[in-house]
Structure 1
Amino acid sequence: MYTIFVVSIIIIIVVLLLAVLTTSKAYSYKHTVDPIDDNPYLENEKIENGEKKQ
């Protein structure tokens, strides 16, 4: 019975450790945003609204 308890505790610790590591790695990821000039969706929106392309 104690072996099942110990194995369960080890599995819980490993899962918790992996969750903390992946969350910290996700928060350290640097997100980037495309400049407005290079946005193809903005050009399509201008065409649909009848505006001239610059």
Structure 2
Amino acid sequence: MITVLVISIIVILIVLALSVLTIGKGYSYKHTVDPIDPLPESKEKNKEPEK
């Protein structure tokens, strides 16, 4: 009975350690954002007013 308890605690500690490492690696990841392309100007703005 004690061996099952010890093995269970060891497995729980390993899973906890792996979870903490994975979360830490996720927080240390540097996220980047692509620059926004300028909106194309409207075709009407490019037209010269008719006289």
Give TM-score scaled by structure 2 length.
0.72
RMSD: 2.2
Structure number with greater Rg is 2
Please list every run of at least 4 consecutive aligned residues from structure 1 whose deviation after the TM superposition is greater than 6 angstroms.
none
Identity of aligned residues (%): 63
CA distance in 1, matches of 2:10, 2:34: 44
Instruction: Kindly state the Cα deviation for residue 37 of structure 1 after the two structures are TM-superposed.
Output: 1.7
Paired residue secondary structure (1:10):
helix
Gaps of 5+ in 2: 44-51
- Asked if 1:25 is matched to 2:25, the reply is yes
Aligned counterpart, 1:35: 35
Aligned counterpart, 1:16: 16
Aligned counterpart, 1:2: 2
Instruction: Kindly state the Cα deviation for residue 2 of structure 1 after the two structures are TM-superposed.
Output: 0.7
